[in-house]
């Protein structure tokens, strides 16, 4: 219900911004252009994300333990076996991509393979499998597309003439505010959807693996690892994949935390620990770790 309301609000913003800028004609032109660009991004989003991470596909012969875990989780989830990729990045992270379970891929970095125990890695991959079975990648594509439309329509104001007639000319201050606030609103709504989906993937992944404590431990280790080896700078490549990853890969400050695509790790761990309090899920204790021990 929350997702439907948020997407409905995005659509409403599109209509209001387009009509305010240039009436119905301006809305139609901007919407068609943005739909065409985001339609292409929808069909090729997996290739773009994997290329941005310089990921290479691995086989069962090349990575037997990794592919075996993914295969077992896919079978348990009743989903097709996704393609498995490894990125050479030293930062510990993982993500799933693809427009549906039949065209899905799971990618892990070299950093996360070195950092996590097999138990923790399995929990992380269960989280990513939950994203696939929940069709979160499709939802992210739709949200990103609608947000892109709002941004495109708002930027269209840059090319509108003010005209000689003062009554017919757009208000310069209003145009400036629209250029700033429309993309901001789209981004905030998209991030809200992403954060909601991360909580759900945590819960569903913990159910799939039966090990919420392992996922809680992995999330804490990954957060520490990201601080040690952040993806510095919000480049187009890093920005395009940041919302897909299990942890925000960008270096954080107060502003980037505000626009983070992920909920706070402490909140995620707290929820997972509450799941682990159930007797059927008690599997052990979270092992202590220290950032300086990360290789």
The reply to whether 127 sits in an annotated binding site is: yes
Query: What CA–CA distance (Å, rounded) separates 177 from 154?
Result: 10
Burial class (CB in 10 A: 0-12, 13-18, 19+), 10: buried
User: Per the structure block, which two tokens stand in for 227?
Assistant: 């601080």
In the sheet that 83-87 helps form, which strands lie side by side, from edge to edge?
Answer: 56-57, 83-87, 105-109, 94-97
| 236 Rama class: left (phi>0) / alpha (psi -120 to 50) / beta | alpha
Question: Known binder of ligand: residue 290?
Answer: no
Q: Which residue has the tokens 């252009």?
A: 33
What does the DSSP 8-state code read for residue 245? B
Q: Which of 102, 128, 223, 278 is catalytic?
A: 128
Would you say 139 and 96 are in contact if contact means Cβ atoms under 8 Å apart? Answer: no
Cβ(110)–Cβ(56) below 8 Å: no
How many Å from the N-terminal Cα to the C-terminal Cα in the chain?
43
Distance CA 245, CA 87 (A): 12
CA 293 to centroid of chain Cα atoms? 28
Query: Has 198 been labeled as part of a binding site?
Result: yes
Catalytic, 128? Answer yes
Name, in order, each residue with C-beta under 8 angstroms of 264's C-beta and a sequence gap of 6 or more.
none
Give binding residues as ranges. 127, 131, 198
Give binding residues for Zn(2+) as ranges. 127, 131, 198
Active site residues: 128
């Amino acid at each position: 219900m929350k997702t439907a309301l948020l997407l409905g609000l995005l659509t409403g913003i599109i209509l209001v911004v387009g009509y305010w800028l240039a009436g119905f004609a301006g809305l139609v032109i901007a919407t068609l252009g943005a739909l065409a660009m985001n339609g292409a991004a929808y069909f090729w989003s997996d290739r773009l994300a994997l290329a941005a991470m310089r990921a290479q596909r691995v086989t069962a012969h090349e990575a037997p333990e990794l592919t075996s875990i993914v295969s077992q989780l896919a079978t348990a989830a009743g989903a097709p076996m996704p393609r498995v990729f490894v990125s050479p990045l030293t930062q510990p992270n993982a993500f799933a991509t693809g427009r549906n379970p039949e065209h899905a891929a799971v990618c892990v970095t070299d950093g996360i393979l070195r950092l996590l125990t097999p138990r923790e890695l399995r929990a992380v991959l269960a989280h990513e499998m939950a994203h696939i079975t929940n069709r979160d990648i499709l939802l992210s594509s739709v949200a990103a597309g609608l947000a892109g439309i709002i941004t495109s329509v708002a930027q269209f104001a840059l090319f509108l003439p003010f005209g000689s007639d003062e009554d017919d000319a757009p208000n310069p201050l209003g145009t400036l505010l629209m250029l700033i606030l429309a993309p901001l609103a789209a981004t905030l709504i998209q991030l809200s959807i992403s954060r909601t989906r991360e909580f759900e993937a945590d819960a569903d992944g913990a159910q799939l693996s039966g090990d919420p404590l392992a996922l809680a431990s992995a999330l804490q280790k990954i957060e520490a690892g990201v601080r040690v080896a952040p993806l510095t700078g919000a480049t187009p490549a890093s920005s395009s994949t940041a919302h897909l990853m299990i942890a925000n890969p960008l270096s954080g400050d107060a502003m980037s935390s505000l626009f983070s695509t992920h909920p706070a790790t402490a909140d995620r761990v707290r929820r997972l620990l509450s799941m682990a309090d159930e007797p059927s899920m008690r599997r052990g204790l979270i092992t202590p770790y220290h950032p300086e021990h990360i290789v």
